[in-house]
Chain A
Amino acid sequence: MTEDLILDEKTSQRIQHALEDFILDTKARAIMVMTRGGQLIAQEGFVEGMKILSVAALLSGIFNSTLNLAKAVGEKNFPHFYQQGKRWRIYYEHIKEKFIIATFFEESALLGVVRVKMKEVKEVLKNVVEGERIRIDWGRERNVEDLIDRFFRE
């Protein structure tokens, strides 16, 4: 599925404030919001050496394959996802299978706190998604040629 997502400035600021609060309250290192197709909408925080766009694309891939896995075992979806490595932990949730919120944190942040604060970010995003200030066109195909055409049109 491809998407075309347009956010006005006020909406962007609202999302950004929610992400800033999340980082302050949880001590997580980074949080990002993306579409199911891997388009990055907002991010806050920083992880050294992390290529944010690549990570967003990979997470989107993991989310989509996990969704298929859920359906294969008779679940509607798996709403939470958690991976723990030696240093890094990754936790993500989705909003109505359209948006993904992912966070990266170390041992200094607590998973329980991350989960509780993630709910608050989700509420803000849910309101944004359901509001009229956002316009999403999920149906249009996007490929390299389309993008080049659009570039020259503009």
Chain B
Amino acid sequence: MKEVLERINSISGVKGSMVVGKDGIIIESSALSSVDSDLLAAMVAKVGKEMEERINARKNFMVTVNGEGGIILFGVEEDFILAVIARKDANIGGLRLEIKKGIEKIKEELG
């Protein structure tokens, strides 16, 4: 899991990444301060849950949040969420692809 996050973090423009449980508790985090991590974990879990409940989103979906200072991308799976914080100038297409690959690896790891 740590390897997956480090690989994502090595992409230009990425500030940090994490794997979060569906209850908003961090499973693994890389290159993020603890304050940022807790807040980000809670936010992505909340958004993921709302999307599942309110718009009947399927389990495997990806969300992009655009902010003034950067972007947050996260993929929601049945048991976990893979979230990434990046600068606005990061290669979003490449990053999405890497998140998808990362999700598959984590799924394998979790069995």
Identify the A interface with B (CB < 8 A).
Answer: 110-113, 115-117, 119
Contacts and interface: CB of A to CB of B under 8 A. Distances in A.
A112 B46 CA distance: 9
What DSSP secondary structure best describes chain A's contact surface?
Answer: helix
A113 B46 CA distance: 7
A110 B38 contact: no
A115 B26 CA distance: 12
Interface of B: 20-26, 38-39, 41-42, 45-46, 49
Contacts of B49: 110
Contacts of A115: 24-25, 38, 42
B61 to A, nearest CB: 18
B39 A116 contact: yes
Contact of A110 (B23, B26, B39): B23
B63 to A, nearest CB: 16
Contacts of A113: 24, 42, 45-46
Nearest to A116: B42
Nearest to A82: B25
B69 to A, nearest CB: 19
A109 to B, nearest CB: 9
A25 to B, nearest CB: 9
A74 B84 CA distance: 37
A111 B49 CA distance: 12
B25 A111 contact: yes
A117 B45 CA distance: 14
Nearest to A113: B42
A111 B42 CA distance: 8
B41 to A, nearest CB: 5
Nearest to A84: B23
